[in-house]
Amino acid sequence: MKETAIVYCENKFGTMDGKTANGLVRSSRKFEIVGVIDSTKVGMDSGDYLLGEKNGIPIFENLNHALEHLPSVPNQFIYGIAPSEAFLKEDERNLLFKVMEHGMNIVNPLHEFFTDDEEFIKLSKQFNITIDDIRKPAQKKDMHLFSGRILNIDTPIVAVLGTDSAIGKRTTSVLLEDALLERGLNVAFIATGQTGLIQGAKYGVAIDAIPSQFMTGEIENQIMKAYETDKPDIIIVEGQGALSHPAYISSCGIIRGSRPGAVIIQHAPKREHLGDFSYMKVPTVKSEIDLIENFSQSKVIAVTINHENMSDEELANTILEYEDDLKLPTTDALKFGCDKLITSIFDTYPNLKSKQKKVLFN
């Protein structure tokens, strides 16, 4: 059975900085999410707020409010905010001390590692709880340099990249994984960020916490583990940031380390400026495609749209416009599913089509 978990996302649920909480509400293979903490949306159903469809996961005002209404104390407390500074505020630190007093284990996705903090270590021992620093990398002696082993595998590798951070790359990756699994394919998903790892990805590494010298080797190593262990028909790699983004180098490491043959690119047409960087314009999808294809040996095979701030009519018109201008299949995976993406993958890798298994319906 999954362990129960409550997700802290004060004032950020449904926003870019709340992407960890957003992702866990949408999908969690590791935990049963029993509530979200955000006092600005108290009383709402998290699924109704985020997806327009109730999921039975309530939003609470604070920790005390949650514990008063839940049938039991959750096993895990997940810090569900991904702020650009990635460090705790003082009131959040005090909240986590109370969490430990209640006997809840802590899942920490920040760059600030609680297991390096004497006060956290002392309290975790006192209250017999565990702390999981999701982003904490292995010691350098245990990290991997790029070895070239990946050059010898012929399994199709598809990366889902984008034009900005927090734009839906992970969501599209997970939806695509599920859709391919439904077709009967053996799929390996490689998570490259904290949210995918918390959601329960079998393979992955928080790439932005890895020293640059080891980035490509660590990604390659995760793909090789998946290849050798599960012998997948296809490998889906989650992107981070954007190749063009001036503040992040994650996409560079992911492309170099995973060497995808095909790329799906995620774009938010109504987003004008990069998240957390209001002085930088979001690149056009065409310029990002050109950059990716010039930087790598990969071919962009489809475009997926983040429909934030778009009406249904705007979305439909944009899909038609992109398909006409870019000559690429375009869809919104959240709204319309992944059929176009799968068709494009099968067109790129024809051998995959024959690996589909017939699904029997009662």
Q: What is the CATH number of the domain that holds 168?
A: 3.40.50.300
Angle, CA 175 vertex, CA 270 and CA 190 arms, to 5°: 105
Q: Are residues 107 and 19 in the same domain?
A: yes
Per-residue pLDDT band for 1 (boundaries 50, 70, 90) equals: confident
Q: Is residue 359 part of a domain?
A: no
For residue 254, pLDDT over 60 is answered with: yes
Which residues touch 309 (CB under 8 Å, ≥6 apart)? 270, 271
156 and 253 share a domain? yes
Residues 114, 149, single domain; the answer is no
Give residue for tokens 């996302």: 9
Residue closest to 297 by CA, chosen among 145, 144, 150, 147: 150
Quick: pLDDT tens for 255-295: 999 999 999 999 999 999 998 898 999 999 999 999 999 99
Q: Among 100, 133, 166, give the residue marking a domain's end.
A: 133
The 10s digit of each residue's pLDDT in 2-55 is 999 999 999 999 998 999 999 999 999 999 999 999 999 999 999 999 989 999
Residue with the two structure tokens 């099968």: 346
Q: Report whether pLDDT(311) > 70.
A: yes
Q: How many domains does the chain have?
A: 2
Q: Any idea which residue has 């024809």 for tokens?
A: 350
Residues 6+ apart with CB under 8 A from 157: 223, 234, 235, 237, 258, 259, 260, 261, 262
| pLDDT of 186 above 70 | yes
Nearest to 261 by CA among 330, 350, 181: 350
Do 156 and 116 reside in the same domain of the chain? no
Using alpha carbons, select from 321, 341, 344 the residue that is nearest to residue 331: 341
pLDDT of residue 130: 98
What pLDDT does 356 receive?
85
Q: What's the rounded Cα separation, in Å, for the pair 249 and 243? A: 7
Domain-ending residue, one of 133, 165, 183: 133
Question: Which string of b and e fits 44-68 if b means at least 16 CB within 10 Å?
Answer: bbbeebbeeeeeebbbbbbbebbbe
- The CA dihedral of 6, 12, 16, 20, to the nearest 10 degrees, is -10
Residues 172 and 205 in one domain: yes
Whether 156 is in a domain gets the answer yes
Query: DSSP label at 8?
Result: E
Does residue 338 fall inside a structural domain? Answer: yes
Binning pLDDT at 50, 70 and 90, where does residue 82 land?
Answer: confident
74 and 165 together in one domain: no
- Shared domain check, 215 and 349: yes
Quick one: residue 88, left, alpha or beta (phi over 0 = left, psi -120 to 50 = alpha)?
A: beta
Evaluate whether residue 147 is within a structural domain.
yes
Q: What is the 3-state secondary structure (H, E, C) of 240-257?
A: CCCCCCCCCCHHHHHHHH
Question: Can you tell me the mean pLDDT for 320-326?
Answer: 98
Which range of residues forms the domain containing residue 305?
Answer: 142-353
State whether 183 and 206 are in the same domain: yes
Per-residue pLDDT tens over the stretch 131-177:
999 999 999 999 999 999 999 999 999 999 999 999 999 999 999 99
pLDDT at 56 exceeding the cut of 60: yes
Residues 310 and 153 sit within 8 Å (Cβ to Cβ): no
Question: What CATH number has the domain bearing residue 79?
Answer: 3.40.50.720
Answer whether residue 58 shows pLDDT above 90: yes
Q: Assign 3-state DSSP to the chain and report helix, strand, coil percentages, each to 5.
A: 40, 20, 40
Looking at residue 88, its pLDDT comes to 87
